[in-house]
Amino acid sequence: MKFGIIFLLITLSSFIGHTVSTVTVVADPTETIHPSEKAHPLVDQHAEHYQQASLPSLKQISFSTSNSIAPYFFADKPQGVQYDLLLAALELNDIAIKELVHAPNLRAQRLVNTKIIDCMVNTPDNVEGMFYTQSLIEYQNSVFYLTKNHLQVNNVQDLKPITILGFQNAKNYLGDEFEALATASSSYSEISNQKSQVVMLFNGHTQSIVLERRIFEYYRHQLRDKLNTSLPVTEVALFAPAERKIACHDKHTAAIVDLAISTLKQSYRYQEILDLAEKNSYQPAQYYNQLTR
């Protein structure tokens, strides 16, 4: 009888110990989760989607930009490469351009700071109180020269013995090395009329010009009946592409425009606009009606 009781107690003790151990393993809230058991990446995507869905709805947004940057914007008509990209981005999100004001850069910025206009296109970096989107497009400033002159330009220092005609304030935008060279060189000058830069290059009045790539091609095509602009030209992209961002006085508006730009970049229309513009030498009247609306 004594041995039977001892055996029963040992068995019962083992059973209770096993049960407690099992419950502890399953229910312990301090247990570390293995990396493989973490949330699936799609969870983050869904969270981002719901965050975007929570943005306030806007039907119209107003913009300001500089007076005219052909072929990106035209002050006298609602056209241009950058204008078409902006319009397409907003249309994909059922938003209209309420107003587009062309003004000198400081005034265009002030219109947004005072909340008269919602957003500024091509806003300078780090303007206090402004909320930025991603870049809508990139500008590529390059050095251009007539190929027949056989200039050897591989870096900024190679420009020292060459006459250079830059756009207005170019030396303040193209990096410290170029600024130092331009400041020290008697062969460097600037001009505000970008069309005249192209004229002077093909007339042989300067050995090279510094100009944005699409702007150069736009004026080269425009001047084809007045100058022999078919002469081969060498382009040297010495400078990094410049992002062109939009900034708004309200963070929610900036988020909505940023989402619109993302939507456009993920569609075929973004590249369609750029390809058609390039095909037609950035002359807006020739490709505007070809765009898929």
Digit-coded pLDDT (tens) for 205-255? 999 999 999 999 999 999 999 999 999 999 999 999 999 999 999 999 999
Backbone angles phi, psi at 173, to 5 degrees: -120, -10
Cβ atoms of 225 and 231 closer than 8 Å: no
Angle of helix 251-265 relative to helix 269-279, nearest 10 degrees, comes to 70
* Residue 229 vs residues 81, 196, 199: alpha-carbon distances, Å: 22, 13, 9
Paired strand residues for 56: none
pTM exceeds cut of 0.85: no
β-pair partners for 270: none
State the pLDDT confidence band at 25, using cuts at 50, 70 and 90.
very low
CA separation, residue 175 to residues 29, 74, 145 (Å): 57, 28, 20
Extended strands (E) in 108-149: 119-121, 131-139, 141-146
Averaged confidence pLDDT in the chain = 84
Q: In this model, does residue 202 exceed pLDDT 90?
A: yes
Tokens of 207: 């050995």
Looking at residue 269, what is its pLDDT?
Answer: 95
Q: Rounded to whole angstroms, how far apart are CA atoms 144 and 206?
A: 10
Residues 51 and 88: beta-carbon distance below 8 Å: no
Give me 69's structure tokens: 């940057």
Q: pLDDT tens-digit profile of 65-119?
A: 988 799 999 988 899 999 999 999 999 999 999 999 999 889 999 999 999 999 9
